[in-house]
A and B are shown apart, each in its own frame.
Chain A
Amino acid sequence: MIPHPEGGAFAHPVTLGIIIATIAVLAVAGLAILWLSKSGRAKPEFRRELWLRWASWCVLLPVMLGPVLLGRAWTIGAVTILALLCYREYARATGLFRERLLSMVVVLGILAVNFAALDNWYGFFVALWPLMACLLAVATIPLDRPAGYIQRTALAILAFMLFGAGLGHLGYMANDPGYRPLLLLLLTAVALNDVAAFTCGKLIGGPKLLPATSPNKTISGALGAVVVTTTLVALVGAAIFRGTPLANPVWLVAMGALVSVAGQAGDLLLSSIKRDLGIKDMGTVLPGHGGVLDRFNSLLLVAPAIFHLVQYFLGFGIGQPARLITG
């Protein structure tokens, strides 16, 4: 169990700190763009792009952080909606949406995983991954249409793994009474990870990381992001996990590196999908960002990785009532 002080949503100093820091960053960014616009240093299209991104963040951050502050059920509900939106974009981009039956099974799987999280039923939650792989593998056999079987089954299992099983871990963390600072840290750290990679890459430059997959990423950016994110996560993690077996410099640094590496891996995973399909963005929902997946790709792998690291040392929701709905 993650240590947590008694009191409301803002009882933990890290929760309050992250919220204040987020608002401050947003305000400073707004002022910086305003200064850039007034001074006339930036081209109009670039200014427009900056404002668009900033406005998107102003909408996105409350939608992301709000449910975490509101409570357990809100958090799991928000993760469910996020998972369904991500799946919708993935299915439309890969063409899997034309397989109605399989698509329906993936959606049911996503709902089942999040139901298991809401029910605080860990046995069902972990059983769903192998069970869904089996179900997806047999679901389209009765259609008697073997052409394209391997492709559609592989696409569906990958979809369930990323958006169902993977993102589901984010919601399941909310079963621990002390979930707020950890979830807020993960949500903000992956965003910071992207910004750090971009900034370090621009400042230092140098050879490309994987030019065929993602032409704009540099090795210096990737390493810079690891340094920045690991430092931040280790420092904030020390405050969150004080007095537990995780509060040890080795594990805290490992945790920070895991957030950074898994975050960048999620990004590259989505880049590979997009390159393979020959598309630039997964959607148009978020002006300045692209689709929902373009924004949340980094969380896909971070959620299960950090969940199982913390689960190994502390466990989630130990001592909390289990199987709240199914009894």
Chain B
Amino acid sequence: MENWNLRPARDLGLAPLDRLRSLGREQGLVGLALNAGWRKAVRAYLTAFHRFRVTGRKNLPAEPPFILVANHASHLDALALAAALRGLPARRAHAMAAGELFFGGPTRSVLAAYAINALPVWRGRSRRTDLDTMRARLAEDALVYILFPEGTRSRTGEMAPFQPGIGMLVAGTDIPVVPCWLEGGRAAWPAEARAPRPGRSLHLTIGPPLHFPDARNDRTGWQSIASATEAAVYRLAPVGMQPQPAAPSSD
């Protein structure tokens, strides 16, 4: 028999706004219901106005934890990736979002936390402990992270090099990294536009998952994971997007 294991919420005792911005934020019934409603609304919008299609859904792991990574061109990207998930992975999905933009004020924080279920990543001041928290939660709480390793939205449609942060989350673990390519994001909501442009189609391609159980949990290991993931995402891009011959996979 196991001892009783009383585990208070990770965000217990935080003031309301700090709680919304906390990487330890855990949803309750209200958050779960709001997030589910938001996801359904987004899915309906994407289907109706952007003819949203998903190919390769069979590549998604059945159970969390896993990480979805994709090219980043618009604010619709994280919404589209979350809309592609179903069941438990959908409920456990957390999008990594720029703290300055999505957690700037109280209203935005409420929207980001309750609707999008986002976790903040702060430009330039994401500390090592933050990444350690995210790495620990991914495995312990069996979460799904949606993240864009380029670090920012592409202004040209070209994909920027992947940052090594993705490696810090999975190096030396069996947690799958699922590469995705979202086609049409830039046309549907360019970085310089204030609102999305209905009528532009969106197509998500999900590739086979990568695993990095043997990658070293240090800078070279993280970098090799970032490169391998970047290459896997490029392989899903339409012909002509690839700037270089596909890099060898590390798994």
Contacts and interface: CB of A to CB of B under 8 A. Distances in A.
A92 B8 contact: yes
B28 A97 contact: yes
Contacts of B26: 92, 97-98
Interface in A88-138: 88, 91-95, 97-98, 100, 103-104, 107
Contacts of A94: 6, 8
Contacts of A91: 28
Contacts of A92: 8-9, 12, 26, 28
Most buried by A among B7, B14, B16: B7
A100 B6 contact: no
Given A88-B28, A100-B29, A104-B29, A95 B13 contact: no
Contact of A107 (B4, B12, B14, B29): B29
A155 to B, nearest CB: 8
A147 interface: yes
Nearest to A151: B4
Contacts of A144: none
A148 B6 contact: no
A147 B2 contact: yes
Given A151-B4, A284-B14, A284-B16, A95 B32 contact: no
Contacts of A100: 29, 32
Interface in B1-36: 2, 4-9, 12-16, 26, 28-29, 32
A25 B239 CA distance: 78
A292 to B, nearest CB: 13
A104 B32 CA distance: 11
B29 A103 contact: yes
A32 interface: no
A279 B5 contact: no
A93 B15 CA distance: 15
Contacts of B8: 92-95, 277, 279
Most buried by B among A88, A97, A148, A151: A97
A327 B7 CA distance: 44
A279 B13 CA distance: 9
A104 B29 CA distance: 7
B5 A151 contact: yes
Contacts of A147: 2
Main secondary structure of the interface of B (DSSP, over half): loop
A97 B29 contact: yes
A6 interface: no
Main secondary structure of the interface of A (DSSP, over half): helix
A45 interface: no
A9 to B, nearest CB: 33
Given A279-B12, A284-B13, A284-B16, A95 B6 contact: yes
B11 to A, nearest CB: 8
B32 to A, nearest CB: 7
A136 to B, nearest CB: 16
Given A100-B32, A107-B29, A93 B16 contact: no
A94 B26 CA distance: 13
A276 B28 contact: no
A93 B12 contact: yes
A103 B30 CA distance: 11
Contact of A276 (B6, B13, B14): B6
A284 B16 CA distance: 8
Contacts of A98: 7, 26
A104 B15 CA distance: 25
Contacts of B4: 151
Given A97-B28, A104-B29, A107-B29, A281 B5 contact: no
B139 to A, nearest CB: 16
A284 B15 contact: yes
A276 B14 CA distance: 20
Contacts of B9: 92-93, 95, 97
Nearest to A106: B29
B113 to A, nearest CB: 15
B211 to A, nearest CB: 27
Given A91-B28, A98-B26, A279-B13, 19 more contacts: A92-B12, A92-B26, A94-B6, A95-B5, A95-B6, A95-B7, A97-B9, A97-B26, A103-B28, A104-B29, A107-B29, A148-B2, A148-B5, A151-B6, A276-B6, A281-B13, A284-B13, A284-B14, A284-B16
22 contacts: A91-B28, A92-B8, A92-B9, A92-B12, A92-B26, A92-B28, A94-B8, A95-B5, A97-B26, A97-B29, A98-B26, A103-B29, A147-B2, A148-B2, A151-B4, A151-B5, A276-B6, A277-B6, A277-B8, A284-B13, A284-B14, A284-B16
Interface of A: 88, 91-95, 97-98, 100, 103-104, 107, 147-148, 151, 276-277, 279-281, 283-284
Can you list the 3 inter-chain pairs with the closest CB atoms, starting with the nearest? A95-B7, A92-B9, A97-B28
